[in-house]
């Protein structure tokens, strides 16, 4: 009877050991599925010569009464608008109209001033003619030009693609330095566009023969991204 009990206990011991050997290593399995990663930033830039110019043209008139100032200013602005259209101006839009009393050094009202301003867009090559036409028609307030590219969205996408390529180069350098290999991209976060910056380089074509030359130079369009790569 004692011998039978001993064999039974031994059998249980063998089963217990077999079960222990057959259990999966949960900690080891979890480590095997853990993937290292690296996150880097990338910057891409594209240089382009702007092809559009936006300017503001206005007239300021002074008369004894507010009504007379407004009427005279309206006549002046109609001439300016006609001149802008004939010179190739487009997207004309009124920016503001104002009337205010003019006072002398004693604070006495000595008439009224009316002013009006309109914005216009033109090709860069037409900007000098636009300025000359407006001043010839009586414009005495001019601001600009603000230079931009009509294909700004396409330029930004080009810069965006370059920023991803730049991020990959940065990640490859870091991975190599750490003795690892670069894996797949797991996350890309667009950081946004950087406002175009003028480079102030001489343009290939400038309106040097105009009384008001406009040299567009070049603008830099930039984009930044944050990219996460897996590591092998």
Q: Each residue of 10-30: pLDDT tens digit?
A: 444 444 434 444 444 444 444
**Residue 114 belongs to a domain:** yes
Q: H/E element holding 153? A: helix 152-177
Q: Which of 148, 175, 194 is the last residue of a domain?
A: 148
- Domain limits for position 98: 52-148
Token couple for 119: 């914005």
What pLDDT was estimated at residue 192?
67
**Residue 84 belongs to a domain:** yes
**Residue 3 belongs to a domain:** no
Q: Per-residue confidence at 196, pLDDT binned at 50, 70, 90?
A: low
Judgement on whether residues 132 and 162 belong to the same structural domain of the protein:
no
CATH code assigned at 143: 3.30.70.2970
Cα–Cα distance measured from residue 85 to residue 92, given in angstroms and rounded to the nearest whole number:
8
Q: Which of 148, 166, 182 is the last residue of a domain?
A: 148
Asked if residue 150 has pLDDT above 70, the reply is yes
Q: Per-residue confidence at 211, pLDDT binned at 50, 70, 90?
A: low
Tally of domains in the chain? 2
CB count in 10 Å sphere of residue 165: 11
**Residue 58 belongs to a domain:** yes
Q: Which of 124, 148, 172 is the last residue of a domain?
A: 148
Residue count of the chain, please give it: 232
**Residue 13 belongs to a domain:** no
What pLDDT was estimated at residue 46?
94
Token couple for 49: 């010569």
Judgement on whether residues 134 and 217 belong to the same structural domain of the protein:
no
Q: Identify the weakest region by mean pLDDT among 13-27, 50-64, 79-93, 191-205.
A: 13-27
Q: Per-residue confidence at 144, pLDDT binned at 50, 70, 90?
A: confident
Angle at 51 between CA 45 and CA 56, to 5 degrees: 115
Judgement on whether residues 61 and 144 belong to the same structural domain of the protein:
yes
**Residue 20 belongs to a domain:** no
* 218: nearest Cα among 202, 195, 194: 202
**Residue 169 belongs to a domain:** yes
Average pLDDT over the chain reads: 82
State mean pLDDT over 132-150.
Answer: 92
């Amino acid at each position: 009877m004692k011998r039978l009990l001993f064999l039974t206990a031994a059998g249980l011991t063998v089963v217990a050991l077999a079960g222990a050997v057959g259990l999966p290593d949960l900690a080891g399995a979890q480590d095997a599925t853990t993937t290292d990663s690296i996150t880097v930033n990338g910057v891409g830039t594209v240089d382009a010569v702007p092809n559009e110019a936006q300017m503001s043209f206005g007239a300021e008139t002074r008369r004894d009464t507010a009504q007379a100032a407004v009427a005279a200013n309206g006549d002046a602005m109609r001439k300016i608008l006609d001149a802008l259209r004939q010179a190739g101006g487009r997207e004309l839009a009124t920016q503001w109209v104002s009337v205010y009393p003019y006072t002398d050094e004693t604070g006495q009202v000595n008439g009224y001033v009316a002013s009006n301003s309109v914005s216009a867009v033109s090709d860069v090559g037409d900007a000098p003619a636009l300025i000359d036409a407006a001043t010839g028609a009586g414009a005495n307030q001019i601001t600009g030009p603000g230079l931009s590219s009509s294909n700004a969205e396409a330029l930004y996408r080009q810069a965006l693609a370059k920023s991803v390529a730049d991020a990959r180069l940065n990640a490859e350098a870091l991975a190599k330095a750490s003795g690892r290999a670069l894996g797949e991209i797991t996350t890309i976060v667009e950081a946004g566009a950087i406002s175009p910056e003028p480079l102030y380089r001489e343009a290939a074509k400038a309106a040097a023969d105009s009384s008001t030359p406009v040299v567009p130079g070049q603008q830099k369009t930039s984009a930044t991204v944050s990219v996460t790569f897996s590591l092998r």
